[in-house]
Chain A
Amino acid sequence: MNLPAQLSYAVGYGLVGKAALWRQRRKDERAILARMRQPSGQLLAPPLLSSARMKELMSRHYLQARYATGVRKVAWVTSGAPVEILQALGFLLIYPENHAALCGARRKAVDMCVEAEHAGYSRDLCSYARTDIGTVISGKAPITRIPKPDLLLCCTNICQTVLYWYRVLAHHFKVPLIVIDTPFLFEEAQAHQIDFVKQQLEEAIPVAEQVAGRTLSFPTLKDVVHAGKRASELWLEVLNRAQHRPAPITAFDGFTNMGPIVDLRGEPETIRFYETLLAEVDRRIETGVGAVANERMRVLWDNLPIWYRMGWLSGLLAQRGVSIVASDYTYAWGELAPMMDPDRPIESAARVYLHPILNRSTGNKLHSMRRMAKDFQCDGVILHSDRSCKPYSLGQIAQRDWLANEVGVPAFLLEADHSDSRAFSEEQAGNRLEAFIELMEARG
């Protein structure tokens, strides 16, 4: 630890930064409350009051990261990585995917993608990866400055892309890369697959301990797993509240409020945040407030969001009384909560991290979509054919056909990319969405 860095951390983050973010939250809350007091007639309900708290939490996380160099060990991790071990060792965790999503939402991603493309990275690669690599290569900070990693942790349970991407990062930063390889589950998980992941987790511990400069405390690990499990349960409860009619939240609220469950899972304040959010959603149910004012049709969303067109999409759908009530993407961070066992942290992690929806078969995903379409009483399914995400997207043609022909739920493929707006045509997408809504209307 170096003293100037610690001083800078204490002042920049601990004193000034946190206080400034607290003030900003209060200001945001007042603005939301003012919108709530406005006469009704809006297509969409005002933002959730909790979203101001979410913004503060995430901003604090990134602010802390900004001052972390020389104070805390930093690990860059994939969004499905078994982070509990690193959290228990005191690492500050950075999720390049989350940062890339933020860049996408704030329309900064394309600039970073172009930086990567100029360095030779193909435009056919994942736009999250290009955004991150572009940021690293250019040294630019489109949102905020991200500290360099001391350790990289890559888990292949969301895609193989992250393996190639993190090899690029490891080569660039010259830091250790831990790979947790999770065999894809074409069918139910088998003993040798679980053993394989467990063995890798066990072997990762000494590597992470060496970088952290401390020994893993199993009681601390147990606490982290417990907190992560509780937060995941709460997250799932929040999402399931959209089964009510009218739905108190939409998938867009889910996309907006998923930051803490991805980035801050295992932190006590994440639990508090989702408790608050759940209470607010319950108040909406009690008072009959729907996220879409005139909810006529309910739709399930498949795949990542189109970060740079969320406002346009939610507005267009709300005009027609369509509420996207659920998403299998946001659900992924909640549905595995029952598998987490704080008393068996490594063994249960091996099972948990083998089972994300993206590490399971296309048939399993169809099964999830069918179940969700039924539970959330959906009139249709929008499958975002995401050029950047092959594991999520390949199989969607068959899934769409099955949903439409075998299950009887209208479904359609919306061509886009989660962060690269150059792969999206608003006019074309709007026309196709209109036609899809008419199809749902015709079916009554």
Chain B
Amino acid sequence: MQIPTRTDAIAIARQRGDRIAGVLPIHYPRALLRAHGVQPIEIWAPPRQDPTAGNAQFQAYACAIVRHGAALLLDGPGRDVDVILVPHTCDALQGLGSVLLDFIKPRQPVLTLYHPRGRRQADRLFLERELRRLGDRLQAVTGRQPGDAELHAAIDTEEAANERLARLCLRQSPAALSDRERYTLVRSREYLPAETFITLVDARLPERQEDAGRPAQDGARRPVRLMLGGIVPEPMSVFDAINGMGAAVVADDLACGSRRLYKRTRGPDPYARLADSLMSGPPDPTLGSPIAERAEYLTTRMRESGARGLLVYDVKFCEPELFDLPQLRDRLSAERLPMLHVEFETATTIAQQTLNRIEAFVEMLQ
């Protein structure tokens, strides 16, 4: 079964009678949108999007997610979405959301979501109320008011898809799927309905299948096992490049990947479940997780997966990512887990300079 493209997913959703939401990164309640008949299609710095229209609105020191994302909404296929959702992930996306609302004023409604920066009871209560506010806005846009049963059903379906995502992200061996295949599948979660995603993952990586991978060919050197961190791996050819250097991605700390491994929830109130779910993910700098907590999580994941080094592959100007790095490096270094940080400007190719640094890192780990 082929993985549908974003274009396919939009066409299928339209046939189903769903509306399309263009959603900026990172965390949002998919189930709430689906229950309102809205299919989220996420926008993560598409490398093929000409950023000119975004550059006309934002300074060069705004990250590519903002500039390319704005361009896609203003001058690309994003013009055709029915609603735009901008989660308040960082100062840059705050700026994008605010400029859309106050100045650009696209024909589509622009919705926002503030995710609290802690995991205290006050945060949890606020998030629940914030989600109810978002639900009210979605109702105003779609004219639909899903009942509790519909909301619970949508949450159950999304949680089943989250489990498939966990299967992809947590049981990684170098050869069961190629890295690019695996992360193409992981990233299809950005736009596919949960039902389609579940079917795809079940077909490619059945639950009971040992994910031990194909045995290495005689004489072939075992790949260097890496953990990949950052916001989004663009262009996806980065995985081919990593494999070509004799390395494999066996774990990730990607915002578009493992940082969205939300846990199963229970309870009678669907909005409480949505809040619990969004607050159940792994440590994330954009959510204010303490650095020690992140370091502990990364160390554990690297030990579990056998990763020998952490490659942080970051979109340039990503402040939430940049602040943690020195202290994370110190902690990982104490655990004899080397870390390399490289930055990229979103484009369809990767700078040779960046590739050289990654290659040197892989060679060091060999």
Contacts and interface: CB of A to CB of B under 8 A. Distances in A.
Nearest to A186: B112
B15 to A, nearest CB: 33
Nearest to B320: A164
Contact of A192 (B117, B126, B329): B126
A163 B117 contact: yes
B95 A168 contact: no
Nearest to B62: A394
Given A120-B326, A156-B117, A361 B102 contact: yes
B353 to A, nearest CB: 16
A203 B118 CA distance: 13
Interface stretch (A13-21, A80-88, A257-265, A395-403): A395-403
A398 B327 contact: no
B6 interface: no
B117 A124 contact: no
A160 B96 CA distance: 15
Interface in B175-205: none
A397 B98 contact: no
A196 B320 CA distance: 23
A167 B62 contact: no
A397 B117 contact: no
Contacts of A161: 91, 319
A353 to B, nearest CB: 15
Interface string B48-62: 000000001111011
A398 B103 contact: yes
Nearest to A124: B317
Nearest to A397: B57
Contacts of B98: 184, 186, 361-363, 394-395
B58 A168 contact: no
Interface in B305-329: 316-317, 319-320, 322-327, 329
A366 interface: yes
Interface string B2-45: 00000000000000000000000000000000000000000000
B94 interface: yes
B257 interface: no
Most buried by A among B56, B98, B290, B325: B98
B212 interface: no
A413 to B, nearest CB: 8
A385 B61 CA distance: 10
A200 interface: yes
A145 interface: no
Contact of A394 (B92, B118, B292, B322): B92
A179 interface: yes
Interface string B110-134: 0010101110101101100110010
Interface in B81-116: 88, 90-92, 94-99, 101-104, 112, 114, 116
B126 A203 contact: no
A174 B118 CA distance: 18
A168 B294 CA distance: 12
Nearest to A121: B326
A151 to B, nearest CB: 16
B117 A181 contact: yes
Given A167-B290, A362-B98, A395 B103 contact: yes
B90 A179 contact: no
Contact of A196 (B59, B95, B122, B319): B122
A125 B323 contact: yes
Contact of A362 (B59, B103, B112): B103
Contacts of B122: 196, 199-200, 203
Interface string A195-206: 110011001000
B288 A192 contact: no
B120 A167 contact: no
Contacts of B141: none
B95 A362 contact: yes
B84 to A, nearest CB: 12
Interface string A353-373: 000000001111010000000
A203 B66 CA distance: 35
B interface, over-half SS: helix
A170 interface: yes
A390 interface: yes
Contacts of B325: 120-122
Nearest to B295: A171
A160 B118 contact: no
Contacts of B61: 124, 387, 390, 393
A165 B323 contact: yes
A171 B95 contact: no
Given A190-B133, A395-B99, A395-B103, A122 B117 contact: no
B291 interface: yes
Nearest to B102: A363
A397 B70 CA distance: 14
A119 interface: yes
Nearest to A389: B91
Contacts of B46: none
A47 interface: no
B126 A196 contact: yes
Contacts of B327: 168, 171-172
Nearest to A361: B98
A114 interface: no
Interface string A141-182: 000000000000000100111011101101110000001010
Given A362-B102, A363-B101, A184 B94 contact: yes
A391 B324 contact: no
Interface in A330-370: 361-364, 366
A183 interface: yes
Contacts of B290: 167, 170-171
Interface string A104-136: 000000000000000111101110010000000
A165 B117 CA distance: 14
A15 to B, nearest CB: 41
A387 B114 CA distance: 24
Contacts of A172: 327
Given A122-B322, A124-B319, A390-B319, 13 more contacts: A119-B326, A160-B90, A160-B94, A161-B91, A163-B117, A168-B291, A170-B290, A183-B116, A187-B101, A192-B129, A362-B95, A362-B98, A385-B59
Interface of A: 119-122, 124-126, 129, 156, 159-161, 163-165, 167-168, 170-172, 179, 181, 183-184, 186-187, 190, 192-193, 195-196, 199-200, 203, 361-364, 366, 385, 387, 390-391, 393-399, 402
23 contacts: A121-B322, A121-B325, A124-B317, A125-B322, A129-B323, A167-B290, A167-B324, A168-B291, A168-B327, A171-B290, A172-B327, A179-B288, A181-B117, A184-B88, A192-B129, A200-B120, A363-B102, A366-B102, A391-B91, A394-B95, A395-B99, A395-B102, A397-B56
Which 3 A-B pairs have CB atoms at the shortest separation, nearest pair first? A394-B95, A363-B102, A120-B326
